[in-house]
Structure 1
Amino acid sequence: MTFHCSHILREGNTVADRLTNMGLLSPSLVWHVSPPPNISPYLRMDDLGFPYLCHV
């Protein structure tokens, strides 16, 4: 069995970063049946292969 590990910066995975931030702000465990509305646009961009460009 072979494993490959890599690191992706937060900016490289906007969906995971935003879900993580939502989880940190939540006082309890939350189960989403579908993507939250504020995540959907980033999920769609990721699905289409568009990069997310943040302004610093």
Structure 2
Amino acid sequence: MELMDMQKCQIAWNFFLESCEKHGISTNLSFYQFIQSVTVEQLESMVRQSELAG
């Protein structure tokens, strides 16, 4: 995976965790599980939303 892809994954992961916390959702999902389960479209959407919230 390219460095840029890993940076996007990290941004999306942080956005996911912040969203869960904001809504009071507890998750035991690991970063690895998150990356395996998220689609490219979902990843890109989370990155965009994170940038807008920014």
- TM > 0.5: no
User: With CA pairs under 8 Å and 6+ residues apart, which has the higher RCO, 1 or 2?
Assistant: 2
TM-score w.r.t. length of structure 1? 0.30
Q: Normalised by the size of structure 2, how large is the TM-score?
A: 0.31
Q: Which has the larger radius of gyration?
A: 1
Bigger helix share: 2
